[in-house]
Amino acid sequence: MLSDLDGTLIDSEPMWSAAVGALVREHGHPWHLVDDAAIVGWSIPALVAEVLRRGVPLTEAEVVTRLHRDVGAVLRRGMPWRPGARHLLAALHHSGIPLALVSATHSVVVDAVVASAPAGVFTVVVAGDGPGRPKPSPDPYLHAAEALAVDPRRCIAVEDSPTGVRAALVAGTLTVAMDPTAELPADLVAHPRLRRVDGLDAVGRLVLGVHAW
């Protein structure tokens, strides 16, 4: 199984909003609760662009590094696992199903998650600051499947966003869209290798049920 991270296994969105607000205020610009609400569901590139738009005198790369550092620090103090996440990870590990973590976030965040997870559950970890193009390119999923020495067509990928779903489908995986945060485009909805479920319990039933395919 190949799993996305944020929105799939953890819910770190409040941490990202807090990190953006803190950085903007640190440089003397206002940030209010309504601003937190306005950026719900935004991608990391969109959050970085918003910080720069607010007049923070840093480069794009500096903002990316700072936000990841701050979010990683918060996650190390307590992991916001989604309901059923730890149970699913343990069940997959107990069943001997290899699991790759495939995230668009950088290693400083991903490493905090791996450290908080049950020992040994992730066979492979692919972070957003690794080699290759980011999602929606299929590169992260292709890299994960290659590292597992498994044909991507024999992998199940779990995602929660249209960008991630597209990346996984283009890579050739059987893709599970879990609680999509946005409506999927028609071409993805009609894809024969897409399944849609309403939570991690359903993901577990699907993955464990088809492991012997």
State whether 31 and 85 are in the same domain.
no
State whether 94 and 54 are in the same domain.
no
**Cα distance from N-terminal residue to C-terminal residue, the chain:** 13
State whether 184 and 163 are in the same domain.
yes
State whether 47 and 94 are in the same domain.
no
State whether 139 and 161 are in the same domain.
yes
Confidence of residue 212 (pLDDT cuts 50, 70, 90): very low
State the Cα–Cα distance between residues 71 and 109, nearest whole angstrom. Answer: 7
pLDDT of residue 45: 93
State whether 100 and 123 are in the same domain.
yes
State whether 167 and 107 are in the same domain.
yes
Q: What's the pLDDT tens digit per position in 18-76?
A: 999 999 999 999 999 999 999 988 889 999 999 999 999 999 999 999 999 999 999 99
The residue segments making up the domain with residue 67 are: 13-77
State the Cα–Cα distance between residues 120 and 124, nearest whole angstrom. Answer: 10
b or e along 33-64 (b: 16 or more beta carbons within 10 Å of the residue's beta carbon)? eeebeeeeebebeebbebbeebebeeeeeebb
Tally of structural domains, the chain: 2
Q: Which of 88, 121, 119, 113 is nearest to 11 (CA)?
A: 113
State whether 88 and 63 are in the same domain.
no
pTM exceeds 0.85, yes or no: yes
State whether 111 and 205 are in the same domain.
yes
Cα four-point dihedral sign 140, 146, 149, 150: positive
Whichever domain contains 167, its CATH number is 3.40.50.1000
State whether 108 and 204 are in the same domain.
yes
Whichever domain contains 17, its CATH number is 1.10.150
Q: What's the pLDDT tens digit per position in 114-144?
A: 999 999 999 999 999 998 899 999 999 999 9
Given phi > 0 = left and psi -120 to 50 = alpha, else beta, which region is 16?
Answer: alpha
One DSSP character per residue, 111-167 reads HHHHHHSPTT--SEEE-TTSSSPPTTSSHHHHHHHHHHT--GGG-EEEESSHHHHHH
Q: Which amino acid is at 188?
A: L
Q: Domain end: 77, 98, 114, which one?
A: 77
Q: How many alpha carbons lie under 13 Å from residue 155 in its C-beta half-sphere?
A: 29
Q: Domain end: 77, 104, 122, which one?
A: 77
State whether 43 and 143 are in the same domain.
no
State whether 113 and 184 are in the same domain.
yes
